[in-house]
Amino acid sequence: MFKKAMFPAFVILIGLCWVTTGRAQTPPELTLETGEDIYKAACVGCHGPGGKGQPESTLGFEKPPQFPDFSDCNGSTRERTYDWKATIHDGGLPRGWSEIMPSFAEALNATQIEKVAQYLRSLCSERNWPLGELNLPRALVTEKAFPEDEAILTTSINTKAPGNISNELSYEKRFGVRNQLEFALPFSFIHPPGQSWLGGVGDFVLGYKRTVIADSHTGSILSFQGEAELPTGNKSRGLGSGVTTFSTFAAFGQLLPHRSFIQLQGGADLPADPGKAPQTPFLNAAIGKTFAENHGNGRIWTPMVELLSAHDLVTGAKTNLDVVPQMQVSLSKRQHILASLGVRTPVNNTSGRQTQVMFYLLWDWFDGGLREGW
């Protein structure tokens, strides 16, 4: 059984079956009509019926750690079809995977690569798993709907006094088909006027997400999430709210043409004691578009812009509006480590509200370790 943490379904793909001298060979029948035809003619000897893989006694060689089981929905559905096609076209090494997977740029045309990728996609027989195409780029503030296995460090820095460096370390763990647990620990460094810098942890957050709609045909995904924010921070030092707060929200994502997208998040923060902290409905939106180098097969760049709104339910309060232009970029060849940088600027009610520089580092740990895939 292959190691799931190293899974992605495309890594070995059809490579081992058409390789005899370390490079891709031209398929013997270029007139094969379907992806299944191509697979059965050239790949079943290594990957077996249904993509489960032949035993090593039949293969005659030791399987690499990333050798996939294409029928394993937990791994294969997470991947985007264009990532599969990129690895078939360029080979494993340029995408941060095993060099034993050769490039098929000369052996297969674009139509044939598409057919093979779609056939491999079909080997997951459980259709309720959300597909990787619906895993939209993560914005700096707006939550996404796709259930993930990720670790994220997000930092916000005030551009003017008083100095404030706010951080949050989040850990997301997917379980089952459409569920996710989230744990978040904020920690900050504050420089009050006339005082020394001080720091400490804030209010610990526990969250649960459930995806209720994931339609790859319409490109739509919808999830609901509930969170409990525990008063673990020191309110007197500005490191917490001093009250347990429950949050609930819906997160919606919609694919648009040409790898564009829009994401929406709406909900409310509901403190257990409204006398200590106000109830706050909020609505966030993010729109962006992903560009990829090397004719769509290389490093990805995703410019986005977010519009954030929140309104404290207290007498005389006004709705706060912020705008956050930003850029996300993949750092690793495997695209499982990404970074984003943006600036959060108040649009109105600017008194006492700071412009902040924001950035994050994201690690999709299901796809490999921090030192892998570079």
Domain co-membership, 118 together with 234: no
Name the domain boundary from 59, 93, 122. 122
Structure tokens at 111: 């139509």
Name the domain boundary from 122, 155, 185. 122
Q: How many domains does the chain have?
A: 2
Domain for residue 81, yes or no? yes
Domain for residue 373, yes or no? no
| Burial class, 157, CB count within 10 angstroms (exposed 0-12 / middle 13-18 / buried 19+) | middle
- pLDDT tens digits, the chain, 374 residues: what are they? 434 443 344 344 444 444 433 444 444 444 678 888 877 776 676 677 787 777 766 666 666 666 778 888 998 899 888 888 888 888 888 888 877 777 878 877 888 888 888 888 898 989 899 999 999 999 999 999 999 999 999 999 999 988 899 999 999 999 999 999 999 999 999 998 888 999 999 999 999 999 999 999 999 999 999 999 999 999 988 899 999 999 999 999 999 999 999 999 999 999 999 989 999 999 999 999 999 988 777 899 999 999 999 999 999 899 999 999 999 999 999 999 999 999 999 999 988 899 999 999 999 999 889 998 88
Domain for residue 322, yes or no? yes
Tracing tokens 């008063």 back to the chain, one arrives at 231
For position 40, which CATH number holds?
Answer: 1.10.760
Q: Which domain holds residue 321?
A: 132-367
Helix axes 35-42, 110-122, angle to 10 degrees: 90
Name the domain boundary from 69, 91, 122. 122
Q: Please name the residues in contact with 326: beta carbons below 8 A apart, sequence gap of 6 or more.
A: 139, 140, 303, 304, 305, 306, 340, 341, 342, 343, 358
Closest CA to 225 of 202, 252, 255: 252
For position 289, which CATH number holds?
Answer: 2.40.160.40
Domain co-membership, 162 together with 307: yes
Structure tokens at 168: 């949050």
Domain co-membership, 207 together with 301: yes
